[in-house]
Amino acid sequence: MVLLKTIIFTFLVPGTVTVLVPFWLLSSRFVPSQIQLGVFRYVGIFIFLVGVAIYFWCAWDFTFVGRGTPAPIDPPKELVVRGLYRFVRNPMYVGILSILLGEGLFFESLRLLEYTSIVFAFFFLFIILYEEPILRRKFGESYQNYCKTVPRWIPWSIRS
């Protein structure tokens, strides 16, 4: 049942953020703002695929290790600190942002890159104002210790 809820959430939320909205932005009547990247645009495919792999790895860990879903209304019951969560506290968001960055580069779309920065700002505020306080209350000292040793966004960076 948890797997089914994870699949449904993935189609509804990340699917909307990474597929429906970018499609709408790329196909709108307005002239898309293009950037010329030449062959560099194909790096976007790699970044996109890495993002997809990151998201699905994290969703798997949430479902089978944490016994919950990526949805805030049905979060993991256990604190997930394995897999990619050993390197950054928010790899699922990094995966989504990588998907969007890859799309923006591949389609040479400044509009998609701007959208990616807006999504990052939303994620950042959501994490700071909602997720982290909830996790502190739910997991207490184990989450506090996790935050001291694992950075929020970038592996091997100064702790945030």
Domain residue extents for the chain? 2-149
Of 8, 91, 1, the residue nearest 50 (C-alpha): 91
106 pLDDT more than 60: yes
> Does position 75 have pLDDT exceeding 90, yes or no?
no
pLDDT at 31: 60
Residues in the chain: 160
2 vs 106 pLDDT, higher one: 106
Contact 54, 91 (CB under 8 A): yes
User: What three-state secondary structure class fits 109?
Assistant: strand
pLDDT higher than 90, residue 146:
yes
Residue 159: pLDDT over 70? no
What share of the chain has pLDDT > 70, as a percent?
Answer: 96
The pair phi, psi for residue 158, each rounded to 5°, is -65, 135
Cα 88-94-96 angle, rounded to 5 deg: 150
Whole-model pTM?
0.92
Whose structure tokens read 């809820």? 5
- For 108-131, what is the mean pLDDT? 96
- Residues near 141 by Cβ (< 8 Å), separated by ≥ 6? none
Running DSSP on this structure, what letter comes out for residue 42?
A: G
CATH class of 2-149: mainly alpha
Residue 152: pLDDT band with limits 50, 70, 90? very high
The predicted-structure confidence for 15-70, as pLDDT tens digits, reads as follows 999 999 999 999 877 766 788 889 999 999 999 999 999 999 999 999 999 998 89
**Predicted confidence band of residue 124 (pLDDT cuts 50, 70, 90):** very high
Nearest CA among 102, 116, 97 for reference residue 42: 102
